[in-house]
Structure 1
């Protein structure tokens, strides 16, 4: 717990060891449960990737530990606000398609990813003018702003930023015949 929020360099210096030694000491002490945040990437590359016809939005941010990466909570709102609304890398409609229909098609999630009769009603109702990520490295679990309602299978799970307590979602498994709920 003492290492949470610290850099590997700072931990190593305090312990009088190399960064590599400090890193492996942390892994051993935490039985491989340690997570680490890397600050890498190039914004121009991110924008170019977003414009690629095969691009879909996703995050590898894990929602575990005391300090998950802020993108675990903020990837999708950040795309809507920073990249679509502010930088205009994609239109709002294109951004939503990259988040919904495109990944559903790629993963062969039957009757998901689009708003159509007979499709599963997995919907996020947001205000395009105010939606934005609020999670930071200091407050990584801060919910996004501008999201009014979240529906999973047609059931409200979030209303005005407050969880409803409903848990209608199910893990999905792809089978030879398509996707089935577990």
Structure 2
């Protein structure tokens, strides 16, 4: 039994470990992900042993199909009133574009994400969302007269409320 386990263990490839306990290949991928610029990609088309000869044809067909996805998306976005930074307005067409790219990638056995789909996504971001900002509007203090009223009102109200409570408690004592 022990020799059978040892034989199985010898057949399993072992990745060299690192001091953090992660395999070295995983550590390299994590390092590459941290070093790559957003424009660069680790996404690769999914290849199988017999697919190399027909891959060029599949890629051409895939590119033609995703061009149709892009044209549908672009025509919808161009019909909007240039309110492209409002996620409520563009979430549906953006999701449809992504679904179309993913569905076609699956259909042609190319995996998703892939360099061709990423190119379309970058193109839409450069064209439609380049002027969208993540910065929120800066909050300012109210004008001085409003601020002064907001500060003085509670300060003046406190003595009045204390007087009212004392007066009502003395009135109850006198009745009792």
**Which has the larger strand fraction?**
1
Shorter chain as denominator, the TM-score bin is: under 0.3
What TM-score, normalized by structure 2, do the two folds share?
Answer: 0.22
Q: Which has the higher contact order (CA 8 A, sep 6+)?
A: 2
What TM-score, normalized by structure 1, do the two folds share?
Answer: 0.22
Structure (1 or 2) with the larger CA radius of gyration: 2
